[in-house]
A and B are shown apart, each in its own frame.
Chain A
């Protein structure tokens, strides 16, 4: 149901939105392993783009280049009008506040409670916020993911799906304009994976965010993608909607949909 609505909305969103991320001729190598070779991609405002590719194809490298955790060898990554590889640490931090990043491993701070995990980004950036306001924002973020009862729990006490939801809540707490998801359903059972995918779509609708999703889980791709970019041999091999790519006869693309 959500997937159908999502697909029907995509054309309108793409027409209305302007690019929030534009990647041009991105290259990244590790010694002799050329992971990305002249990769191009654009993400428009309010759009969900999925980068689909096999394990080891360079999807995570791409997303880490976008957020500035890795420096590309060549190419540009324009986000909010700035070229990310050229920014210094302070400028990059200012951009990062507007971008949420959901890690594959969730990366919850395991020495902190759920509440402290959610408070951490707020305390770093919204200095003048009162404790009451912080508490309200934490509760709102937890309500969004349906886990208000876990507020005082430690990450180790949570299941895999709950950790993913808390990580998503932490990503949302600064109200980012763009969310980058690194394999959000990996390691989860199909039912929990579907719940997370639906949650991602709900979040996108509620906060009007743009999302770049790295995945090879076709259920997640089907539910969340407005546009799919297939990453093969370090390049944007094909792109289109889920329906368009499912009909393709290209064997290298078709293998993902079989």
Chain B
């Protein structure tokens, strides 16, 4: 019995993404290394995402604190607020929120850029000029996304905690030193390392999916739009799946 068309498409697409990822490793390890283009991509992917990631981090820290405060007051544990917010932000909200923002901004941008290059034959032009477009366009972007997302997550976490500190100070007065002392008192090795480690995988998934969708796009300008859209949707879903797997692994390793 033949599988339904959508199921076949799913498996075919999954296989293609797996092959594309394999190609990334086979091209990525061989010289020549595109160092200049890699740093340019780090600037675009990392530095230029900083304002958006910082703003969302700040808002989520502030809002989370203001939302949690009444519930904790009901139980008379308002003093636990910095520690709870700290754990929530560092372990889950910071990495996930930053990764989703990153998928929206960078995944769509990579998908649209490479898709546009594909349909206007710029990738072919690069290839016929004797440049390996996969190495130049894909490897540099995927590596930059993999390395820049953890950096953005750390910065976003810090800004979110600062937002939380301001949130606490709206209704009461807590010193900066006391607030962060309580936050770091509650945080442990098992909170920080797994949460930062998983962001490398988030970044890798977002980079690979963005590049795959753009690099294999077709059907003209409509294909470019579809590539950008699919890059965001698929990479966002993958971020959730990786997060789920990461939680299971940290649980097995006893880091929770």
Which A residues are within 8 Å of any B CB, using their own CB?
64, 67-69, 89, 93-94, 96-97, 99, 101, 103-105, 107-111, 120-121, 124-125, 174
Known pairs A69-B128, A124-B129; list 16 more (Cβ under 8 Å): A67-B128, A89-B132, A93-B131, A96-B127, A97-B129, A101-B129, A103-B121, A103-B125, A104-B121, A107-B120, A107-B121, A109-B122, A109-B125, A109-B126, A121-B131, A124-B130
Inter-chain contact A101/B125, CB cutoff 8 Å: yes
Inter-chain contact B124/A103, CB cutoff 8 Å: yes
A103–B127 Cα distance when bound, in Å, is 12
Residues 158-198 of B at the A interface (beta carbon under 8 Å): none
A76–B165 Cα distance when bound, in Å, is 71
Nearest Cβ distance between residue B210 and chain A, in whole angstroms?
16
In chain B, what residue has the closest Cβ to A64? B124
Inter-chain contact A97/B122, CB cutoff 8 Å: no
Residues 101-133 of B at the A interface (beta carbon under 8 Å): 113, 116-117, 120-122, 124-132
Inter-chain contact A101/B128, CB cutoff 8 Å: yes
Inter-chain contact B124/A69, CB cutoff 8 Å: yes
Inter-chain contact B128/A96, CB cutoff 8 Å: yes
Residues of B within 8 A of A64 (CB): 124
Nearest Cβ distance between residue B238 and chain A, in whole angstroms?
27
In chain B, what residue has the closest Cβ to A99? B128
Nearest Cβ distance between residue B135 and chain A, in whole angstroms?
10
Nearest Cβ distance between residue B15 and chain A, in whole angstroms?
20
Which B residues are within 8 Å of any A CB, using their own CB?
113, 116-117, 120-122, 124-132
A97–B130 Cα distance when bound, in Å, is 6
Inter-chain contact B129/A69, CB cutoff 8 Å: no
Residues of B within 8 A of A109 (CB): 117, 122, 125-126
Inter-chain contact B120/A121, CB cutoff 8 Å: no
Residues of A within 8 A of B129 (CB): 96-97, 101, 120-121, 124, 174
Residues of B within 8 A of A107 (CB): 120-122, 124-125
A104–B122 Cα distance when bound, in Å, is 11
Inter-chain contact B124/A93, CB cutoff 8 Å: no
Residues of B within 8 A of A110 (CB): 116, 120, 122
A101–B117 Cα distance when bound, in Å, is 17
Provide 8 A-B residue pairs closer than 8 Å at the C-beta atoms, listed in order of the A residue. Answer: A69-B128, A99-B128, A101-B125, A107-B120, A109-B122, A110-B120, A121-B130, A124-B130
Residues of B within 8 A of A96 (CB): 127-130
Nearest Cβ distance between residue B154 and chain A, in whole angstroms?
29
Residues of B within 8 A of A68 (CB): 128
In chain A, what residue has the closest Cβ to B122? A107
Residues of A within 8 A of B116 (CB): 110
**CB within 8 A of B121: which of A89, A105, A111?**
A105
In chain A, what residue has the closest Cβ to B27? A89
Inter-chain contact A105/B120, CB cutoff 8 Å: yes
